[in-house]
Structure 1
Amino acid sequence: MKREPSSGRGVHVRPADARDYPLLPALEAASDTLLAAAPGVRASQAALPPVATLPEFIAARRVLVAGRPPAGFARLEEIDGQAHLEQLSAHPDAAGAGLGRALVEAALEWAREQGYATMTLCTFAGVPFNAPFYASCGFEVVQDPQAELGALRQHEAALGLDAMGKRVAMRVRLLPASAGE
């Protein structure tokens, strides 16, 4: 029997259920407000793309949430045949409470259980709770993303995200090198 993803520090992470999905777009929008004043982001240069819609959340490869009602979530997709952390959001009222780390740890655990060799993500390089945070979770910058990950970075640039601040793709190895990728 597979156990529910969870993490230490008293933060319970679980798969999203039907009661959670309608709450996630507003949670993502609230979380996005944290970027407005973040170092490394030029918020006046462009706007973040619209938050994910309810159908996009429901269609995601996996959504993990922390709290009931959710105070944070991790939306996981598949890119280049590997796990991809599409969105990590925590409500501003819960910022700094360990939700982000608990969600990343649970997402990594889920991806390992699914047999993925790596997990990728795209994020702002200079925002402390973005690339530096993910580096502390084991992610490393992908210098020249190719294939679907490269196309995603080009799409982000076309949306205007690069005008807001330097963006990077990052990857973490989940399985030993001999196990795949």
Structure 2
Amino acid sequence: MRIREGADRDLITLQDIERAAGRCFRDLGMDAVADDEPPSLAMLGRYARAGGLWVAAETAADRPVAYVLVEAVDGNTHVEQISVHPDRARRGIGRALIEHVAARARAAGVPALTLATFTEVPWNAPYYERCGFRRLAPEELTPGLRKIRAEEALAGLDRWPRVCMWRDLGTA
């Protein structure tokens, strides 16, 4: 599996990946999440132009099978979204994307990776804990993470338990 920067030619494929990955939430009774629209082409394009879109594909020229969106939040690298097509799940692709992002952040002197996720979805918080993240207590949230959580609440995601997570990169 190769990881490369995402490009405009990938964006429609990324929406397809997101729709397919989202359908897995239906099995957990999370139909609203399953039915949620993927990030818009404009949003994906903004991440790509800002250097915050990475994709995984068999070869550099192949269509992506997974992607990660990252942005700076309070001096850390925040994983906004990571999605793997369900046909390619459980093969270490998501972990490879996380490790790629961690290596780039570490090389840039960024102290940590952060993310917000569902606590009770097996491929969310429990998975990220296996990838070296820890759950943050509410009083540990940075201003940017508090803002992200407030936006998630407004979007209705708090119908299911959520948590922010932190992975120290050892650069502080």
Per the normalisation by structure 1, the TM-score is 0.83
Q: Which residue does the alignment assign to 2:13?
A: 23
Q: 1:87 aligns with which of 73, 76, 81?
A: 81
The one-letter amino acid paired with 2:39 is A
Which residue is 1:154 aligned to? 150
What's the RMSD between the two structures over aligned residues? 1.6
C-alpha distance in 2, partners of 1:81/1:70? 29
Deviation of the 1:17 alpha carbon: 2.3
Provide the residue aligned with 1:6 in structure 2.
none
Instruction: Give the structure, 1 or 2, with the largest relative contact order (CA under 8 Å, sep 6 or more).
Output: 1
Alignment partner of 1:34 out of 24, 41, 46: 24
How many percent identity over aligned positions? 35
Distance in 1, Cα, partners of 2:71 & 2:102: 12
Q: How many residues align?
A: 162
SS in 2 for 1:20: helix
Gap regions ≥5 residues in structure 2: none
Task: Please give the alpha-carbon distance, in whole angstroms, between the structure 2 residues aligned to 1:47 and 1:160.
Answer: 10
Contact 2:5 / 2:53 at 8 angstroms: preserved in 1?
yes
Question: Equivalent residue for 1:50?
Answer: 37
Following superposition, which runs of at least 4 residues in structure 1 exceed 2 angstroms of deviation?
46-50
In the alignment, what sits opposite 2:55? 65
Indicate if the aligned counterparts of 2:74 and 2:142 stay in contact, CA closer than 8 A: no
Contact 1:47 1:160 in 2 (8 A): no
TM-score between the two structures when normalised by the length of structure 2 = 0.87
Q: Give the aligned partner of residue 170 of structure 1.
A: 165
Per the TM alignment, residue 97 of structure 1 is displaced from its structure 2 partner at its CA by: 1.7
Q: How does 1:74-153 map to 2 (within 5 A)?
A: 74-144=68-138, 145-153=141-149
Deviates more, 1:154-163 or 1:107-116: 107-116
Q: Which runs of 5+ in 1 are unaligned?
A: 1-10
